[in-house]
Structure 1
Amino acid sequence: MKISVRNLEPTKVRLTITVDQEELNPHLDEARKSIANQINVPGFRKGHIPGKIVDQRVGYAAVVGEAINEAVPQFYNDAIEEKNLRPMDQPTLDLKDVPQAKDDGVKLKFTAEVEVRPQFELPALDGMTVEVAKPEVTEEDINARLEALQQRFGTLVSVDRPAAQGDYANISLEAVINDETVDSQDGVSYEIGAGNMLDGIDEALIGLSAGEKTTFKSKLAAGEHEGEEAEIKVTLNSVKEMQLPELDDDFAQDASEFDTLDELKEDIKKQAELDAEGRQANAARDAFLAQVVEGIEIPVPKGLLANHTDEHLRNIGKTAETATADEKKEAAESAEKELRDQILLDTLAETMDVQVSQSDVMNFLASVAQQYGMDPNNFINSIIQGGQLPSAVQEVARSKGMLTAMRQVTFKDPEGNVVDLSRFLGSDETDENQSVAAASAAAEVADEVANEAK
């Protein structure tokens, strides 16, 4: 087999593959066997028709046509492996020459255009030092967690006064465009100041009393008239405020397994410290990846970038035709970062010579199923039946590659103290037999780096 490679773009190649007759013959024999099971020839049992008779019966060109359906993808895969290319998408195949007669001297020739992972040199990891900020837990952090717990045990109580920031309002809304009601809702509950409803509604509600009405203008956030400015008529039906329990030992006993408020605060502090360490590990990962690619240009395949950008737009219910310029820009930037991260992680996995075992993949899938509250066996079966197992293998390889690479690096805080991240990175010994917990951590890291949202 003769293979020539032409670089069309930094991340796109065209392979021209010419196949010798001797290499094609085994595929022709398989094609003849397949055809023999489909035709009837007097004097021969189905499936036991000699190859020469098959050629005579259906024609040599038909046998070749049957053979290349299986042969061309295999020859393409062999060529990719021989030339050490890393495809990132399916190829576009184009047949150039196909033998039509047994002795016409024509060799099978085809081209394959495919976007490939760019090759670049990673810096030496051994001896690399990466700075990462200290995990800090302030009194404000502890108080915020305590207040959140306090909110969970609070009680909504009706009040006879004008609405204020933080109150819970029951409202009725009517949206009017050109004197026509385009949407209306009754009995909507809204926390004033939450910022998760129409722009301007907080200012409209503050100062109103139950039973009063007002109007304001705002752009509609959803529905048929999304993005259009409407006159919003709002009626304040009732106002409630959150009354919080006293922070004392009684509260600690009601809200936790602790007897005193001091014990509860100490436990909250410990949890906050653990969370801070987790944030530090995430910051270490980001700092590590940023330092690895510092000064390295990683080109992104144009076709894949366009497809991923469209996918990001679909996730927000838009297309290239309906999205705003800002939405398209944000989608393109997110897609480009996602692809660059994937390219980097794949290169790290290859450089680290990561090996993915069956147990790695099963643990990974089980952990994902657990995160989404699904039955692991059903989830794994659906992944296999849906043909998504290769993607799962790739995701595990990326995670293991990054963890393996990060274990070769020394992390230090701004004061020069070594930061121990072994709780998050594991060890070379334990990595070979990942537990579900370790796979779950790896899945979370890969998800944040490669997808930013799944």
Structure 2
Amino acid sequence: MVKVEKIDGSKVALEIEVEQPVVEDALNQAYKKVVKQVSLPGFRKGKVPRPILESRFGPEVLYEEALEIMVPDAYDNAVEEAGIEPIDRPEIDLVQMEKGKPFIFKATVEVKPEVELGEYRGVEVTRELKEITEDDVEKKLDAMRHEHVKMHVVDGAVEQGDLAVIDFTGYKDGEPFEGGSAEGHSLEVGSGSFIPGFEEQVVGMKAGEEKDIDVTFPEDYHSEDLAGKPVTFKVKVQEVKRKEYPELNDDFAAEVSEFGTLAELKEDVLNKLKEEEENRAKTVVEEKVVQAVAANSEAPVPDPMVEREIDRMTGEMEQFLRMQGLTLEKFTSLTGKTMEDLREEKREEAGQRVKANLVLDAIIEKEGIEATDEEVEERIEKFAESYGQPVETIKEYFEAQGQSNVLRQEIKFRKAVDFLMEEAKITDVAASEPKQEE
């Protein structure tokens, strides 16, 4: 039996009663575990009868173990009976635990809040769609030329943009310093990857030439021994390599694509850029529609849900950094921020995401949006194709990780967004020029 009491905010208190026969069964199980650890004169270890055990130590000796047996199932059953959706771990308080009586406890838990939906059909938003021009196509083709650049050795002097293969040794106060030497180092002159003032002095050197280069380390250099200090590098150029960009012609098109002519490649680039722009605009307008619907609705945003969303966002950030060869710890060290700083920066956006998801959930329920078994199967097949794994392997993974319901929920969310997009009033406008950002 369960009594439900709503507390302020989105908390609920459940007073849960467990019938005496169930209590007795749990006490018996508890006795079988506890007695193995008890030794009393006149009895072999583990053979003390329950009445004597309770008489000697009190019936409470079994309560802790019995509670661990009873509470989880009783709580789960009460949650199902009450029809609530907890979003956090419950606080458990003992109300009654006496021999021969039902066991009563109170579970206070934060639940998924109720959403008061506003107008969600026909919200008005604008879609900014950038016109793809010939200039955009040329920029893309130029980027493709840079991707297929070739390097060739030249006899002349180093110029800006060249790759100088150098040996160098750095000296401070006439002594070599740690980490200041290398052989066969490839330096792209003009990249700004070396100490300020170094690359400019490499310009004009030729293969085989040696030179002393004087520079001063920046005041904020990470090594205190070198920060702000003047040093001398003895530099020798091994060879000079210059970039050779391919010409934009039919040969280039045949080399980098499945097309035989430059005209065909240009048309393909144009179509792909248009598709990318349409996808970008679609993503942006979907976010606008969902945020507009969320703004029209009332939904409390519980802290536990925000914290979980921040966890997810920092997890995404960590994954992205790993792809760039960084760790979260290294990133915080470089930026001078703590994990608490990063989490706080994400709090507002996390709250917006939580509210949007709560509103979408409410729309799913109100509109009766479902994810069919066929749709789930189709999504699993796409995962299998993407990862090059058998469908059964992916299916077993989702089931083993308990992610099947998550997959089904994602499908519902996608269908809910599609529904809102179909109902929305979308006006196309020309995209404004992007602002220059540092």
Name which one, 1 or 2, has greater alpha-carbon Rg: 2
1:94 to 92, 95, 105: 92
Which residue is 1:150 aligned to?
145
Q: Which amino acid counterpart does residue 97 of structure 1 have in structure 2?
A: V
**Counterparts of 2:169 and 2:372 in 1: how far apart (Å)?**
58
For 1:79-228, what aligned pairs fall within 5 Å after superposition? Answer: 79-80=78-79, 85-89=84-88, 91-103=89-101, 107-114=103-110, 116-159=111-154, 160-165=156-161, 167-170=162-165, 181=178, 186-189=183-186, 191=188, 200=196, 207=203, 209=205, 213=213, 215-217=215-217
Distance 2:112 2:201 in 1: 54
Q: Matched residues, percent identical?
A: 20
Aligned residues: 388
Query: Does the 8 A contact of 1:252 with 1:259 survive in 2?
Result: yes
Root mean square deviation of aligned Cα: 4.6
Matched, 1:289 2:290: yes
Aligned residues of 1:118 and 1:299 also touching (Cα < 8 A) = yes
CA distances 1:112-148 after superposition (whole Å, capped 9, x unpaired): 344x444443432222232101242122221122123
1:344 and 2:344 matched: no
Measure the CA separation in 2 of the matches of 1:240 and 1:409: 57
Report the AA paired with residue 355 of structure 1. Answer: E
State the 1:331 CA deviation: 3.9
Structure 1 Cα separation of the partners of residues 98 and 273 of structure 2: 73
Structure 2 residue runs without a partner (length 5+): 37-48, 319-326, 431-438
Q: Helix, strand or coil: the match of 2:328? A: coil
The answer to whether residue 400 in structure 2 is matched with residue 385 in structure 1 is yes
Which residue does the alignment assign to 1:413?
Answer: 428
Change (3 A) 1:75 1:37: closer
Q: 1:373 to 1:95 in 2, by over 3 A?
A: same
Map of 1:358-437 to 2, 5 A cutoff? 358-368=373-383, 370-371=385-386, 377-414=392-429
Deviations 1:356-397 (A, max 9, x none): 344544544554455456665545434433444454444444
The Cα of 1:205 is off from its aligned counterpart by 7.2
- What's the secondary structure of 2:329's corresponding residue? coil
1:316-368 CA-partner distances (Å, limit 9, x unpaired):
43399967348754442235424531442243034223323445445445544
Give the CA deviation at 1:277.
1.3
Matched, 1:334 2:330: no
Letter in 2 for 1:124: E
CA distance in structure 2 between the aligned counterparts of 1:284 and 1:246, rounded to whole angstroms: 39
Aligned to 1:132, the other structure's residue is in SS state strand
CA distance in 2, matches of 1:257, 1:55: 82
Asked if the contact 1:350/1:401 (under 8 Å) is kept, the reply is no
1:18 paired with 2:18, answer no
Alpha-carbon displacement from aligned partner over 1:8-54 (angstroms, at most 9, x marks no partner): xx56x3x43322343x64575477579789999xxxxxxxxxxxxx9
Contact 1:61-1:101 within 8 A present in 2 as well: no
Contact map agreement 1:251 1:261 (CA 8 A) in 2 = yes
Quick one: structure 1 residues 125 and 321, their matched pair in 2 at CA, closer, same or farther if it must change by over 3 Å?
closer
SS at the partner of 1:102?
coil
Indicate how the Cα distance of structure 1 residues 27 and 293 shifts in structure 2: closer, same or farther if over 3 A, else same. same
Between 1:236-245 and 1:274-283, the stretch displaced more is 236-245
1:278 Cα offset (Å): 1.1
Check whether the contact 1:88–1:117 (CA below 8 A) recurs between aligned residues: yes
The equivalent of 1:274 in structure 2 is: 275
Q: 1:352 to 1:176 in 2, by over 3 A?
A: farther
CA contact (8 A) 1:214 1:233 kept: yes
* TM-score after normalising by structure 2: 0.68
**Cα–Cα, structure 1 residues 35 and 113, in superposed 2: closer, same or farther, change >3 Å?**
same
Judging changes above 3 Å, is the alpha-carbon distance between structure 1 residues 288 and 399 closer, same or farther for their aligned structure 2 residues? same
Q: Deviations over 1:163-204 (max 9, x none)?
A: 414x44546688999985257665454555667x57858965
SS at match of 1:126: coil
2:72: which partner in 1? 73
